[in-house]
Amino acid sequence: MIIVLRLSHRPGRDERTSTHCGLVARALGADEIIYSGEEDSNMIENIKETAQRWGGKFSVSYEKSPRKAIEKYKRKRFLVVHLTMYGLPIQKQIRKIRKNKKVLVIVGSEKVPGEIYQMADMNIGVSNQPHSEVAALAVFLHEYFKGKELDKKFPKAKIKIVPQKVGKKVVEKG
Amino acid sequence: MIIVLRLSHRPGRDERTSTHCGLVARALGADEIIYSGEEDSNMIENIKETAQRWGGKFSVSYEKSPRKAIEKYKRKRFLVVHLTMYGLPIQKQIRKIRKNKKVLVIVGSEKVPGEIYQMADMNIGVSNQPHSEVAALAVFLHEYFKGKELDKKFPKAKIKIVPQKVGKKVVEKG
């Protein structure tokens, strides 16, 4: 069970990046994304619709307080992993992380409050260079699942892609 | 030599996602990014500045016509890989791709013109689910370099992070 917690969403400004976090979480094997920051029911509805159309099980929700969300999942014995360029290298920590079947992965926005670093069980860097929370999340999930997430099935999809050498093949069900 | 070609940039609307493509390319081992679409010298300057401050060698440039860029690198014997959710699964193609030391990786925006699919040597999907070009690029580079890109050194950096269990440690030179 992998749950992603996206911090400090701002409607408008962060819409695309936050949406990408949600879609990446779903496509690369996570079970749920929780958004904190400002509430953005349009964005959440859009991701829910995409998830339903493309199949599989994926939950999307909003929780105003990231602290509350973190405390809740700590009580449920999730390992809390905060992805940050300041953290310890993922390549040296991933084995330890994989031992946990329940992980809450926190992805930040531009400024992450200090208490998040304190509350996390692990602060983990996907490289210590500046790049993108979307990319960090993707590489984290890919490492956690050892690449097997790419073969994940999405049952009850209304729309499906049939991989092609050239061009597009899409199958839609009524 | 890995060069990323980012298609159809629109200043404003795509600024953050396109910037993330550039930073991910740099952080995860590519040598260069070329932007096409509308020219955006501010964005390009920002990425150049970041690259200089954080060290290593990384080039950023603009080319109005993606077709011209693709033709140029085909003449230089680059393998042209287009990342698209409609393409063949990366996990089945990556060994073949890795045999090529020179790769031009194309990452699209919302609508990619049909001719890009035709011009590419390979159309490759990082999953066939909708998610994010930033994430697709990150997983592609991570697979191509087998994770070794995470240990990449960035010489002559003016700023550097020292990985920490908790909190931030940044070393700045002059």
Q: Is the dihedral of CA A23, A28, A31, A36 positive or negative?
A: negative
For testing contact with chain B, the best of A23, A47, A131, A164 (most B CBs within 10 A): A131
Contacts of B118 (CB under 8 A, 6+ apart): A166
- Single pTM value for the model: 0.98
> Would you tell me which residues 98-157 of chain B have a C-beta closer than 8 angstroms to some C-beta of chain A?
114, 117-118, 120, 122-123, 125-132, 134-139, 142-143, 147, 149-152, 154
The domain B2-172 having CATH identifier 3.40.190.10: the answer here is: no
Q: Band the pLDDT of B11: cuts 50, 70, 90.
A: very high
Decide if A12 touches B, using CB distance below 8 A.
no
Q: Band the pLDDT of B174: cuts 50, 70, 90.
A: low
- Taking residues B152-173, what's their average pLDDT? 96
A108-150 residue pLDDT tens: 987 899 999 999 999 999 999 999 999 999 999 999 999 999 9
Query: How is chain A split into domains, by residue range?
Result: 2-172
Q: Band the pLDDT of B86: cuts 50, 70, 90.
A: very high
